[in-house]
Structure 1
Amino acid sequence: MAPHVRASRVLQFGTFEVDLRAGDLRKSGARIRLQEQPFQILTMLLEKPGEVITREELQQKLWPADTFVDFDDGLNTAIKKLRDTLGDSADSPRFIETLPRRGYRFIYPVNGARAPADVQVLPMTWWRRRWAAGLLALTALLAAALLSNVGGLRDRITGRTGVGPIDSVAVLPCKNLTGDPEQDFLADGLTDVLTTHLAQVKSLIVPSVTSSMYFKGERKKLSEIARELSVEAMVEPSVQRSGDRLLVNVQLIHAQTDRHLWAKSYEVEPKNVQALLPAVAAEILEAMNVQVTPEEKSRLSRSRETTPEANEAYLRGNYHFRKGTDADRAKAHEYFEKAIEKDPNFALAYANLAVLRAHGGFFRAGAGPLEDRTQTREWAQKAVELDDTLAEPHAALAWIAMMDWNWIGAEQEFRRAIELNPNLPVARTWYAQFLSCMRRFEESLAQAEIARRLDPVSPDTSVHSAEPYLDAGRVDEAIESYRKVLELEPNYHIAHHSLARAYIEKGMYQQAIEELEKAMALGGRDSLSLGVLAHAYGKAGRRQEALKLVSELLHRPNGEHVPPWRPLAIAYSGLGDKDKAFAVLETAYERRRGALFELNSQPLYAPLRADPRFQDLVRRIGLPLSGTSPPTP
């Protein structure tokens, strides 16, 4: 066993010198910057040169049980940083040797001590006697290694990853290693922006940040996460403090083989993180051998710098936007407006504010007043004016055009949004809904399936992706999708609401009533749920209960800032009161509100469709009549 070297606090190996007491590392007299954890690992190795320092020892010393950080990732990252600093290699180590599944060993002589017996350099006389045979053997081994690509040797020499072009990748939630939970928004924002940059490449499938965030804090194996997201590779980012700067670490891993294809660390000022990420995305794409068009390269290289205050407000806005509750949507709105206040030319803030306000949420889609629609259009147009490569404002403009019954304009904007970012789930789900309104159900289902593939674990996307199946009359498939969502998220009230509408189509009125009661218990007594519940009561023959809900709709305070024409029309449809249903729909038509764009696809309006008044209203709105060709751009 090699002697311990604790007696000396200044240790030397090669051209390096370490002062354990001062925490300094120098090379040829010049001080080298090394972070705390890699330095502590180096200290443990130097104090026992030639001995194996086990992974368990390192974990107990540097990652105690109460540390909420993935140990394997943390250790691998720290060892890589240490080797990079020393100019060492895992495959041909000079200083630090890896013993698979056991630990690490320092193999270079420390303070002039003799190298351990099992790694000693052989005497020159031995080398002279055997040089010819050794050289021939080495040549043969090297040729065999290159031929079989042992340890990826051939790939490293040729600069290839060895796995061929990768066509799907997910960005895992960025790990916040700053020690400050208040910086979660920064880590989540890094995940979001990096995902957005990669998603702009048409030849690449990139699951949405919503699906990636589902695995935040999960301890699953990478291969399991990759299987759930249906991707070949994973990007693992982390961010930590380095003095008054940030250290952003990014690694690319081939999911099936758990092989690290690429890794790099970037030290930047906090205000420059946003500007750094396009270059990071470009390096990741190069490492994956992805085909990137000149137009895509141009978009990736475009600078989107802003002020630190505006960037923080924008990232906080996204953080709340993803949560999806009404309260969080309101906070997101405040933060996006604050970002614009800090930087009036911040295109991304205008874009996300437009998307946030365009749809209005599941229960208020298309229900907002005209002045809100005008404001949202202005935000989207401003975003396009500032940066015409952003997909989000085009999706917002498409939805607004749809509410304005501008069907040709809506489809043009949807197609432009998808062209700019083919991996944007909201563009796919909104376009699917548009296509259902046009009664182009096969196209609608195709878009829904793409959205589901891009956002496989998001309950919101899963529910919206099932809607076209319900519209197309494939009710059993819609029910199966809603039930799958509820298996994972039993308290997701929107899924209960959607399942209830599917049960109505199956004539399962009692089950529909039970699901709607669950939805309202979880999400509140919103007007749309009351209208659908009244519809179910009417179809079930429970007329008095239905009329009681209609009365509640007519007399309730207008807390949703919009008259309940849509819910009332749905309620009267279920009650069979066509005159009142058409009276409400005519009022909505005159005011150009009430989500009339769904008139042609919403199954709850089916009892009205045989009435000539229905066909007349559909014609005036410009929707295709059943069996006729829809307008095309």
Structure 2
Amino acid sequence: DFFGDGLAEEIASQLGQVHDLKVIAHTSALQFKGRPDPPRAIGEALGVTTLLEGSVLVAGARLRVTARLVSAPTGEQIWADEYERDRRDVFAIQRDIAERIVGSLRATLSPEERTRLARQPTADAEAHNLYLLGRYYFGKGTFSGRRRSVEYFEQAIKRDSLFAPAYAALADALVFLAYLGQARPREVLPQARADARRAIQIDSTFGDAYASLGVITAAYDWDWKAAEALFRRALTLSPNSVYAHMWYSFFVLSPLGRHDDALAEMRRALDLDPVSLEVRYHLGVANYMARRYDSAIAEYRRALDLDQTYAPARDGLGFSYAAIGRFDDAVSEMRRAVADSTVTSDAVLGYVYALAGRHTEARAILRALTDRARHQYVIPMDFSLLYTGLGEPDAAFPWLSRAYDERLPLLVGWVNAPPNDRLRNDPRFTALVRDLGLDARGSMR
């Protein structure tokens, strides 16, 4: 399935470069794969009037692709075709499908958009296959999946050193390993920066590469003006890029305290990916960062309506309940988040235990983290969060300083978060955010 899903994602990405079209993200469309829903119901759920259906069959070196464009309100077929070719012709098939869709929908193509649609990122079928495998494992959202995606992207680049999407995808994978504490930032993020720059050097019209570099420029280099310019360039080239809208909001606008702009970008991401758990969760985060706790809680609950086991939404609810003094509810949600996830740290549960006055349980988690840190990497933010919850700023600040020294990507999104309101009037906190190029109110200096 990874090949067919990857092919669909690439066609959506190609069409997403066309300013005259609104293209729903592949992640939302994928929710309807294999389901018998009528076109009208799918169109209403996704907010679109036209659907692309299809199938992919791979048999050795041969490839059979069927594609069908359907009116969502009526179910009528607008266009259909079938392709049976050598697997090496996959980009020609993609290009033909994209151009036929643009023509059928009477969308206006600029000369630059037409050139981008015609571009073939690699002539190496195996490099493309490795890239799609990397995308598949990256999309799983797990530690092991992200690590495995790095291996596939690196293999794709070894086969074709001019494969721009593989460089940008490798940069993204490295960033999020560092963000989640699975790699030390100084060990992987310089490489990620070089990979994103290499992607742009190869293809200066590849919008996703600008978004990848924008994340690194904000979260690792703390160059806010340059990061914003990169995201603006990404969105000019790829206006339908969910991740460009989402990471612009999360890594630039929220840290700068531009909460109305951050929420607008996140809502645009949700409009393009309406049943995405990840986007819905990050819309909750944008509201939480703006101290709009009721709205944050509502968004997290909407995510859980889609999937009761989605741990990040439980984590978000826990933080939001803690912010409004509902500590028992916060503990309940954090317990569930930790139980349901391999990603959520015990530190978040220790934090709400501390706020609830359950210091014995909070300190038990602190001791366990301290023991773990003796033989494996634990992100400094876990310790600063726990000590902040326990009301021990003198113990919290050395860990915040360590996060700064390590250039931890999480720091820029975290420093002006509500838990740190307890530290905001401390001169040490003012100095920290100043060194990040921000101020304690969350704006650019």
| Interval containing the TM-score (normalised by the shorter chain) | over 0.9
Structure 1: give runs of 5+ residues left out of the alignment: 1-183
Partner SS, residue 473 of structure 1 = coil
Q: Which residue of 2 aligns with 1:450?
A: 268
Opposite residue 494 of structure 1, the aligned amino acid is: P
- Is 1:369 aligned to 2:185, yes or no? yes
Q: Which residue of 1 aligns with 2:45?
A: 228
Partner SS, residue 262 of structure 1 = strand
Q: Distance in 1 between matches of 2:23 and 2:379?
A: 39
Q: Which residue of 1 aligns with 2:4?
A: 187
Q: Distance in 2 between matches of 1:311 and 1:608?
A: 49
Q: Which residue of 1 aligns with 2:351?
A: 535
Give the deviation of 1:244 after TM superposition.
Answer: 6.2
Opposite residue 46 of structure 2, the aligned amino acid is: L
Give the deviation of 1:476 after TM superposition.
Answer: 1.0
Q: Distance in 1 between matches of 2:126 and 2:360?
A: 56
Q: Which residue of 2 aligns with 1:617?
A: 432
Per the alignment, do residues 352 and 518 of structure 1 end up closer, same or farther by CA in structure 2, a change over 3 Å counting?
A: same
| Structure 1 residue corresponding to 2:195, chosen from 349, 372, 379 | 379
Q: Which residue of 2 aligns with 1:550?
A: 366
Q: Which residue of 1 aligns with 2:327?
A: 509
Opposite residue 425 of structure 1, the aligned amino acid is: V
> Are the counterparts in 2 of residues 369 and 562 from structure 1 also a CA contact under 8 Å?
no
Q: Which residue of 1 aligns with 2:380?
A: 565
Q: Distance in 2 between matches of 1:458 and 1:186?
A: 21
Per the alignment, do residues 244 and 451 of structure 1 end up closer, same or farther by CA in structure 2, a change over 3 Å counting?
A: closer
Bigger Rg over Cα = 1
Residues 226-258 of structure 1: CA distance to partner in whole angstroms, max 9, x if unpaired?
A: 111111100112234689633322111111121
Give the deviation of 1:401 after TM superposition.
Answer: 0.9
> Are the counterparts in 1 of residues 372 and 378 from structure 2 also a CA contact under 8 Å?
no
Q: Which residue of 2 aligns with 1:486?
A: 304
Q: CA RMSD in A?
A: 2.1
Residues paired across the two proteins, number: 443
Residues 76-115 of structure 1: CA distance to partner in whole angstroms, max 9, x if unpaired?
A: xxxxxxxxxxxxxxxxxxxxxxxxxxxxxxxxxxxxxxxx
Partner SS, residue 614 of structure 1 = helix
Give the deviation of 1:493 after TM superposition.
Answer: 1.4
Higher relative contact order (CA 8 A, sep 6+): 2
- Is 1:630 aligned to 2:440, yes or no? no
- Is 1:347 aligned to 2:170, yes or no? no
- Is 1:280 aligned to 2:97, yes or no? yes
| Structure 2 residue corresponding to 1:474, chosen from 272, 289, 292 | 292
Residues 466-501 of structure 1: CA distance to partner in whole angstroms, max 9, x if unpaired?
A: 211011011111111111111221111122111111
Q: Which residue of 2 aligns with 1:424?
A: 241
Matches within 5 A, 1:306-325: 306-325=123-142
Larger helix share, 1 or 2: 2
Residues 603-629 of structure 1: CA distance to partner in whole angstroms, max 9, x if unpaired?
A: 1111111223222221222113428x6
| Structure 2 residue corresponding to 1:584, chosen from 399, 402, 405 | 399
Give the deviation of 1:529 after TM superposition.
Answer: 2.8
Q: Which residue of 2 aligns with 1:58?
A: none
> Are the counterparts in 2 of residues 439 and 624 from structure 1 also a CA contact under 8 Å?
no
Q: Distance in 2 between matches of 1:469 and 1:262?
A: 42
Q: Which residue of 2 aligns with 1:390?
A: 206
> Are the counterparts in 2 of residues 355 and 392 from structure 1 also a CA contact under 8 Å?
no
Q: Distance in 1 between matches of 2:419 and 2:431?
A: 18
Residues 114-161 of structure 1: CA distance to partner in whole angstroms, max 9, x if unpaired?
A: xxxxxxxxxxxxxxxxxxxxxxxxxxxxxxxxxxxxxxxxxxxxxxxx
Matches within 5 A, 1:395-410: 395-403=211-219, 404-410=221-227
Per the alignment, do residues 413 and 341 of structure 1 end up closer, same or farther by CA in structure 2, a change over 3 Å counting?
A: same
Per the alignment, do residues 241 and 616 of structure 1 end up closer, same or farther by CA in structure 2, a change over 3 Å counting?
A: closer
Opposite residue 336 of structure 2, the aligned amino acid is: K
Residues 209-229 of structure 1: CA distance to partner in whole angstroms, max 9, x if unpaired?
A: 111111111111111111111
Q: Distance in 2 between matches of 1:558 and 1:450?
A: 43
Residues 360-397 of structure 1: CA distance to partner in whole angstroms, max 9, x if unpaired?
A: 387449x7321200111111111111112222221111
Partner SS, residue 254 of structure 2 = helix
Opposite residue 443 of structure 1, the aligned amino acid is: D
Opposite residue 231 of structure 1, the aligned amino acid is: V
Q: Distance in 1 between matches of 2:350 and 2:65?
A: 54
Give the deviation of 1:586 after TM superposition.
Answer: 2.2
Partner SS, residue 345 of structure 2 = helix
Give the deviation of 1:596 after TM superposition.
Answer: 2.5
Partner SS, residue 247 of structure 1 = strand
Per the alignment, do residues 597 and 436 of structure 1 end up closer, same or farther by CA in structure 2, a change over 3 Å counting?
A: same
Residues 244-293 of structure 1: CA distance to partner in whole angstroms, max 9, x if unpaired?
A: 63332211111112121122222321111123212320111011011222
Per the alignment, do residues 361 and 509 of structure 1 end up closer, same or farther by CA in structure 2, a change over 3 Å counting?
A: farther
Q: Which residue of 2 aligns with 1:305?
A: 122
TM-score when scaled to structure 1?
0.67
> Are the counterparts in 1 of residues 351 and 362 from structure 2 also a CA contact under 8 Å?
yes
Q: Distance in 2 between matches of 1:204 and 1:573?
A: 47
Q: Which residue of 1 aligns with 2:279?
A: 461
Q: Distance in 1 between matches of 2:436 and 2:38?
A: 52
TM-score when scaled to structure 2?
0.94
Matches within 5 A, 1:128-143: none
> Are the counterparts in 1 of residues 143 and 177 from structure 2 also a CA contact under 8 Å?
no
> Are the counterparts in 2 of residues 439 and 600 from structure 1 also a CA contact under 8 Å?
no
Residues 517-537 of structure 1: CA distance to partner in whole angstroms, max 9, x if unpaired?
A: 11111213x5x6322222211
> Are the counterparts in 2 of residues 245 and 268 from structure 1 also a CA contact under 8 Å?
yes
Give the deviation of 1:594 after TM superposition.
Answer: 6.3
Give the deviation of 1:350 after TM superposition.
Answer: 1.1
Q: Distance in 2 between matches of 1:495 and 1:393?
A: 28
Per the alignment, do residues 305 and 620 of structure 1 end up closer, same or farther by CA in structure 2, a change over 3 Å counting?
A: closer
Residues 505-555 of structure 1: CA distance to partner in whole angstroms, max 9, x if unpaired?
A: 12111111111111111213x5x6322222211211112221222222222
Q: Distance in 2 between matches of 1:584 and 1:338?
A: 37
Per the alignment, do residues 523 and 362 of structure 1 end up closer, same or farther by CA in structure 2, a change over 3 Å counting?
A: farther
Q: Distance in 2 between matches of 1:568 and 1:352?
A: 31
Q: Distance in 2 between matches of 1:226 and 1:363?
A: 35
| Structure 2 residue corresponding to 1:335, chosen from 136, 152, 164 | 152
Q: Distance in 2 between matches of 1:421 and 1:372?
A: 26
Q: Distance in 2 between matches of 1:255 and 1:306?
A: 35
Residues 571-601 of structure 1: CA distance to partner in whole angstroms, max 9, x if unpaired?
A: 1111111111122222332333363213443
Residues 181-215 of structure 1: CA distance to partner in whole angstroms, max 9, x if unpaired?
A: xxx22211210111111011122111111111111
